[in-house]
Amino acid sequence: MSIQLHDSLKIAEKEKALPRVIAYNRIDGPGSSLDLSEFQQAFWKMPDIIEKDDPAVKWTCNLPRTVGITIDTGTRIEAHPFNPDLIGVKSVEYKTEVTASPGEVIPVKENWLLKIIEIFDIKGVKFILKNLREGIQSSGLGGSSTATIGVCLLANELAGRPFSKIQLISLASRIEQSFGVSITGTQEQSNVIFGGVTDYVWFPWGKPGYPGTGYGESSRFELIPPEDYGLLEERTAIFHSGKARLSSEVNLTWRNALLTESGYNLHFKKMKVAYEFREGLRLQKWDHVMRSIEKYRKIRTKLCEGYMKNSIDLLERAKSSNCTTFPLGAGGGGGVLLFSPNPESLLKLREDLKGIYNEIPFKIRSSGHEINNIKI
């Protein structure tokens, strides 16, 4: 029997305490895209020895991994009372709205978030989504995935938490893939669930010896504690190239390259570079972080020159200030990560870019989401 939310949400509205989830974005870097199922399946193999007490986890250096850095941009998702017989989703940022009767949601791309609400068998509710920052859209920060897992979180709370965190990650990723919303793995969704500066080592078929683990499960390691976030923040910045484009062609080119010998070998090199990035952050060896960013960007560019479209000028300006760049996501959102081991060099670059490119300011967060006003 469907869970009717109309009356309880009316009361919450009157009390100005509507249920909501705030889902935060992430910065990616070396390791980005290795959470995609194709790369997990191509490169994952049973580790020889799992050394649980080794903080460097050297046994993972050839396994697919990504590092998520949670930041304070993202999406607020609020549950509003709605027609008792309907469900709805409205995006303030994208000026879209879809509604349907539960059980009658047509499986098309535009309805991907509506389908999630239907899955949880709730009704009489409309989810309203609004970005925390106006005008930045996704910017390569995983915006659609952030919204998707945020809707999953809120629906799960309203339905009485029928799914575990790992199941929500799997649900969000599969919905996005099957509805053609984006080519996504599970990194963005994992970031919203777990947050922080976190290393995810993927186990696509579940962790050996751990019953009940499955698609999208990972071993997770905190790389930088919250008290040291400032050390990373002063060495990183995000600027927008001023141009956005579809990332689908870049993603498709990368995936097709996996089917050729030369492309496979290039992709395989990503594992060790991502591990170098991980260790650079953990040990706060900032020159290692910079080298791994440059290596990973060069591999991506060899696999698809279109990855660097719109960000060449930023790269040249960064080089002149002893900094480097990394187009976020597949480069289509326009967001570009700037990094320098020397905070003073980054400050100089910031001054040089003023009036030319727009900065997206951020702070690193230890948690990936907030849940408010839930009465189960």
User: Per-residue pLDDT tens for 230-245?
Assistant: 999 999 999 999 888 8
> What is the C-alpha end-to-end distance of the chain, expressed in Å?
17
pLDDT of residue 215: 58
Question: Alpha-carbon distance 307 to 312, whole Å?
Answer: 10
In whole angstroms, what is the distance from residue 217 CA to residue 200 CA?
9
pLDDT at 150: 97
Which segment of 6-15, 103-112, 172-181 scores lowest on mean pLDDT?
A: 172-181
Euclidean distance between CA atoms 343 and 236, whole angstroms:
8
> What is the predicted pLDDT for the residue at 243?
87
pTM for the full predicted model: 0.95
pLDDT of residue 259 exceeding 80: yes
**pLDDT band at residue 216 using 50, 70 and 90 as cut-offs:** low
**How much is the average pLDDT of 213-235?**
89
Q: Report yes or no: 166 and 186 within 8 Å, Cβ to Cβ.
A: no
* Distant-in-sequence, close-in-space partners of 113: CB < 8 Å, separation ≥ 6: 89, 98, 127, 129, 147, 148, 151
What lies within 8 Å, CB to CB, of 314 at 6+ separation is: 239, 241, 325, 336, 338, 353, 357
* Residue 49 predicted with pLDDT over 80: no
The torsion angles phi and psi of 325, rounded to 5 degrees, stand at -130, 160
Domains recognised in the chain with CATH numbers: 3-226+366-372 (3.30.230.10), 228-359 (3.30.70.890)
